[in-house]
Copies of this chain bind each other. A is one copy, B any other.
């Protein structure tokens, strides 16, 4: 039976430091009713992604900022519970930008952004993790930008994270002979080696990480998949191999906080002497290849070649906590929230 009230978390003020409950406000309203060409979705799962922190800043970027008073933007999975759209009947499960709310009202212009979750997928929340944007980010960043070849040595920073953990395993599938990770806690490092199958995992808070990286791969890294930025990226630059490729995925160490400038990179000159490159990418640019990539990822999961981990909170009111955990390093694997 449907509820009659919808709860939403809207952006109250833009954070300047760490994100917390005080930046959002819970508002209640009626469950929306679809008009022609629209659907209403009961949200089941919400995804937390570092990019969300960037969307909260009032700065020019690839996506417009979330407005004050607007429902916080987020990817999620949910079930269509009311529909005036012929192709999306009630009972269809979809993934898309559903927002921090219990019910999402999708206008005609947003229908094209929804992805149907195939009924044969046993765990629909994987459409937010290994089969969702984090897994797809690992897939395209590694295979289209990092491009590990047979015998290559690969470094993945934040290797216990939703993207890093998948990226390292994809490098291995693609032929890399040595895969090194970094993570912030002993528990995560154990998981990265024992479950995700990396050869070694270093402490990325180690003051001596530059030398540790060298010790772990004396010949340098052919591919670096970076989720951290700052001094760890600089240490990776110091250890780049000739013709190396650094895929710039994210920069979690900066917290995506506009008031805090990123720690500068000093070793960029080595890109010249080692004929190497550093390149950014956005997964959404590869949208026309998502189906093929999901097919590969799904098969690799079924074959046991990819291990994915999830970290699940429950209840809409905990959404700000879920987002903050990405930056405090509290999560192991994909941070999700299950709506009660």
A61 to B251, CA, bound (A): 28
* Contact A251–B272 (Cβ < 8 Å): yes
Does A278 count as interface, using CB distance less than 8 angstroms?
Answer: yes
* Contact B261–A266 (Cβ < 8 Å): yes
Which of A27-35, A64-72, A279-287 lies at the interface with chain B? A279-287
Of B261, B266, B282, the residue contacting A272 (CB under 8 A) is: B282
Of B61, B262, B285, the residue contacting A266 (CB under 8 A) is: B262
For residues 200 through 256 of chain A, which have their beta carbon under 8 Å from a beta carbon of chain B? 229, 233-234, 248-251, 254
B residues in contact with A280, CB < 8 Å = 270-277
A272 to B278, CA, bound (A): 10
Does A190 count as interface, using CB distance less than 8 angstroms?
Answer: no
* Contact A269–B229 (Cβ < 8 Å): yes
B residues in contact with A248, CB < 8 Å = 268-269, 271-272
Does A195 count as interface, using CB distance less than 8 angstroms?
Answer: no
B residues in contact with A62, CB < 8 Å = 273-274
A234 to B264, CA, bound (A): 9
Does A265 count as interface, using CB distance less than 8 angstroms?
Answer: yes
Does A301 count as interface, using CB distance less than 8 angstroms?
Answer: no
Does A173 count as interface, using CB distance less than 8 angstroms?
Answer: no
- Looking at the assembled complex, report how far the CB atom of A142 sits from the nearest CB atom of chain B, in whole angstroms: 15
A2 to B264, CA, bound (A): 55
Does A263 count as interface, using CB distance less than 8 angstroms?
Answer: yes
| Residue of A54, A61, A280 with most partner-chain B CB within 10 A | A280
Of B264, B273, B279, the residue contacting A263 (CB under 8 A) is: B264
B residues in contact with A272, CB < 8 Å = 248-251, 280-282
| Residue of A249, A250, A273 with most partner-chain B CB within 10 A | A273
* Contact A61–B273 (Cβ < 8 Å): yes
B residues in contact with A234, CB < 8 Å = 264
* Contact A277–B275 (Cβ < 8 Å): no
* Contact B265–A268 (Cβ < 8 Å): yes
> Lowest 4 CB-CB distances: which A-B pairs, in order?
A264-B264, A272-B280, A277-B279, A271-B280
- 11 A–B contact pairs at CB < 8 A? A254-B269, A263-B266, A264-B265, A271-B280, A272-B280, A275-B280, A275-B282, A275-B285, A276-B279, A276-B280, A279-B279
4 further interface pairs, Cβ-Cβ under 8 Å (given A265-B265, A265-B268) = A263-B266, A271-B278, A271-B280, A278-B279
